[in-house]
Copies of this chain bind each other. A is one copy, B any other.
Amino acid sequence: MTDETLAGRLCAVGTPGLSTALRRRGYHDVVVEGVRPLTPGQRFAGPARTLRFVPFRPDLFAERGGGFNPQKQAFDTVGAGEVLVIEARGLPETGTLGDILALRARHRGAAGVVSDGGVRDTEAVVATGLPVFANGSHPSVLGRRHVPWETGVVIACGGVAVAPGDFVVADADGVLVVPAAIVTEVLAEAERDEGRDAWIAARVAEGEALDGLFPMNEAWRACYEAEPQRT
């Protein structure tokens, strides 16, 4: 399965089902807390590229903050279908990307950006069409709180560890991180569960009660399994 197909199926099945399959494997803390889409309704999935900021300090900023710094390198080289994930220590009080960087990521074909910091030039970023999940908008430049430090390392974003290559899935329920090593099995399980839940939802929409149906007792399960598409 190509990354593109995988991303499409991860997007389609959605974060709730994936979250449940991850929880069964002991992954209880894999949701990026506190971020929201700049534009409601955005959803994407793809492998992670990571970018780590450290707190602003004049000497460290002099060392790595100027010129073609790690932040600009990350946006300049992000691959098609990739998701750029930024560690900004949950601070909404400064921008962590702006319109020029968003344009570049869009041009490169990035699937999206997730930052647990703020967005600058919000309207222009929205206009690029690049999906962004962040924890707010702010007019301040990066240097108010951060030094762009390094790329390609394991980071913390919204309380979750993100490693380069992890799959990141973002939709209306939030942003989820799926380790690459288990993404296929987690996806398959989530699709199976979501299929079952969609069938239950259809019954409830027809007026059936939850009792015995959700979760299914033996009678309902027999009924469910008897349907052609399930066998």
User: With a CB–CB cut-off of 8 A, which chain B residues contact A210?
Assistant: 68, 72, 75-76, 100-101, 104
- Whether, in the assembled complex, A81 has its beta carbon less than 8 Å from a beta carbon of chain B, the answer is no
- Look across to chain B and name the residue whose beta carbon is closest to the beta carbon of A158: B55
Among A99-154, those with CB < 8 Å from B are: 99-101, 103-104, 107, 119-124, 137-141, 143-144, 147, 149, 154
Is B139's CB under 8 angstroms from A27's CB?
no
Is A211's CB under 8 angstroms from B161's CB?
no
Is B76's CB under 8 angstroms from A57's CB?
no
Contact of A28 with B144 at beta-carbon distance under 8 Å, contacts A100-B214, A200-B100 already known: yes
Per DSSP, are chain A's interface residues mostly helix, strand or loop, or mixed? mixed
28 A-B Cβ contacts within 8 A? A14-B139, A15-B139, A16-B120, A16-B140, A19-B140, A23-B143, A27-B57, A30-B57, A31-B139, A33-B93, A41-B123, A57-B160, A59-B182, A68-B210, A68-B212, A75-B210, A89-B159, A95-B173, A100-B210, A103-B205, A104-B204, A107-B204, A119-B173, A120-B173, A123-B171, A123-B172, A137-B172, A139-B176
Say how far A32's CB is from chain B's closest CB, in angstroms: 10
- Whether, in the assembled complex, A201 has its beta carbon less than 8 Å from a beta carbon of chain B, the answer is yes
- Whether, in the assembled complex, A230 has its beta carbon less than 8 Å from a beta carbon of chain B, the answer is no
Interface size class of A (residues with CB under 8 A): 35 or more
Is B137's CB under 8 angstroms from A173's CB?
yes
For this chain, the copies found in one complex come to 6
A95-B173, A139-B176 given; 9 more Cβ-contact pairs under 8 Å:
A14-B139, A19-B141, A23-B140, A31-B139, A54-B156, A55-B161, A100-B214, A123-B172, A138-B173
Complex Cα distance A141/B123, Å? 34
Complex Cα distance A137/B58, Å? 25
Say how far A167's CB is from chain B's closest CB, in angstroms: 13
Say how far A52's CB is from chain B's closest CB, in angstroms: 9
Complex Cα distance A107/B60, Å? 33
- Whether, in the assembled complex, A47 has its beta carbon less than 8 Å from a beta carbon of chain B, the answer is no
